[in-house]
């Protein structure tokens, strides 16, 4: 039997217990929770077959009562003695995509980010479109290109047309960017033709991940009028391997910023679902930004309510992301198109002036939130390195 030593300052202590899917040499992927620098094999520790499966979907679909019961059992097990075979050193575990993603929707919920891009793209007009403060703007992404942290990103190719060029050309993106975001994973589906209210958010959403929605800005700029993002976004979206359950984030809940004008009734709720999550963005090992999620204008509860208000069903494994998290200061901008102001204000990275991503660059986005008794809740990180465009696409 084994007793896990949990340092008092660990962001992966008893108040967190994020879920992930892992394997070790010669074994199949299965569900575990992270405790300090260990993974607890839940099938071995609890004897529950639902945790022996290669995704979290079956467990997530059981709903809040089952989630709460499992959390109680896990806490009891971690506080006591565990079978030695159930405790795996994190360094010996290979992490996998934690959920089978059903649908992927990305929002545009940061007023600072939307305002900055409006000023960049429409310098002679109002930075926010007329609809922005009336509804959570979003687009439907590609679930099949959601990948787990640590997966390399192949530079995408597509059509590009700089303003000075008379016609478009084809080739690798020259303005490859990141978007530091927070994502939400649906556990309990909703019935077609019904809507999830903001106050029913916790009855459906299982947990939270860190997201990097990689973006090819030159491809995006040419294609997005009039229907919005497509190839400039759909090539890769990276998520962290650990899903922090909503139950771990009670201390992190805060009010959203004042919403003026008042949203329509279907977007109102009594429950507050702003979250005090602090992100960090590292570019080749250097921290270049610290975006504050607490400043997001639209809450995830409002995002889910808007997604389903037309009768579209939420499904187990749905992932919806916040859109770029940006704050009021320059060092809080969560995308490089903002941080470098469209490439006109380079930032120094490793002694070089940089604007957009080059081959070989590595981006790491991490996040933490306040926990009980002054602790911090860790989300882990989402990591990705840029590889050159494939030869066939050049």
Element (H, E) at 302: helix 300-308
- 140 counts as catalytic: no
Residue 159's DSSP bridge partners are: 170
Whole-angstrom Cα distance, residue 268 to residue 271?
9
Nearest to 291 by CA among 95, 97, 116, 103: 116
Check 96, 113, 140, 204 and give the catalytic one: 113
Residue 289's DSSP bridge partners are: 281
Whole-angstrom Cα distance, residue 393 to residue 377?
42
Whole-angstrom Cα distance, residue 43 to residue 392?
44
Whole-angstrom Cα distance, residue 147 to residue 154?
12
Query: Which three-class secondary structure state does DSSP give residue 216?
Result: strand
End-to-end CA distance of the chain: 56
Whole-angstrom Cα distance, residue 1 to residue 85?
8
| Measured CA angle at 173 (ends 96, 388), to 5 deg | 55
Q: Tell me the catalytic residues.
A: 113
């Amino acid at each position: 039997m084994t007793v896990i030593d949990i340092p008092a300052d660990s962001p992966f202590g008893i108040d967190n217990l994020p879920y992930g899917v892992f394997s070790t040499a010669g074994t199949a992927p299965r569900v575990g929770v992270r405790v300090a620098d260990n993974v607890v094999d839940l099938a071995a520790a609890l004897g529950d077959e639902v945790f022996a499966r290669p995704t979290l979907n079956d467990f997530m679909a059981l709903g809040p009562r089952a989630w709460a019961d499992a959390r109680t059992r896990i806490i009891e097990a971690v506080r006591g003695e565990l079978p030695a075979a159930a405790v795996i050193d994190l360094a010996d575990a290979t992490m996998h995509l934690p959920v089978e993603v059903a649908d992927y929707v990305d929002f545009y919920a940061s007023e600072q980010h939307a305002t900055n891009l409006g000023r960049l793209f429409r310098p002679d007009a109002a930075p926010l479109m007329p609809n922005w403060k009336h509804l959570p703007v979003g687009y439907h992404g590609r679930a099949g290109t959601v990948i787990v942290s640590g997966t390399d990103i192949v530079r995408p190719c597509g059509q590009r047309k700089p303003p000075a060029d008379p016609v478009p050309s084809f080739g690798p993106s020259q303005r490859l960017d990141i978007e530091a975001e927070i994502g939400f994973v649906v556990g309990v589906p909703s019935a077609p033709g019904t809507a999830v209210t903001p106050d029913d958010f916790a009855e459906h959403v299982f947990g939270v991940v860190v997201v990097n929605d990689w973006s090819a800005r030159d491809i995006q700029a040419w294609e997005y009028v009039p229907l919005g993002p497509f190839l400039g976004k759909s090539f890769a979206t990276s998520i962290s391997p650990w899903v922090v359950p909503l139950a771990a984030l009670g201390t992190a809940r805060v009010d959203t910023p004042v919403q003026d004008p008042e949203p329509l009734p279907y977007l109102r709720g009594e429950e507050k679902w702003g979250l005090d999550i602090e992100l960090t963005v590292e570019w080749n090992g250097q921290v270049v930004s610290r975006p504050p999620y607490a400043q997001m204008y639209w809450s995830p509860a409002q995002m889910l309510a808007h997604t389903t208000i037309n009768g579209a069903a939420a499904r187990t494994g749905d992932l919806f992301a916040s859109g770029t998290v940006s704050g009021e200061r320059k060092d809080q901008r969560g995308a490089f198109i903002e941080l470098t102001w469209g490439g006109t204000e380079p930032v120094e990275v490793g002694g070089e002036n940089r604007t957009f991503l080059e081959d070989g660059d590595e981006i790491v986005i991490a996040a933490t939130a306040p926990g009980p008794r002054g602790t911090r809740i860790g989300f882990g990180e989402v990591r990705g390195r840029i590889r050159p465009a494939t030869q066939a696409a050049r």
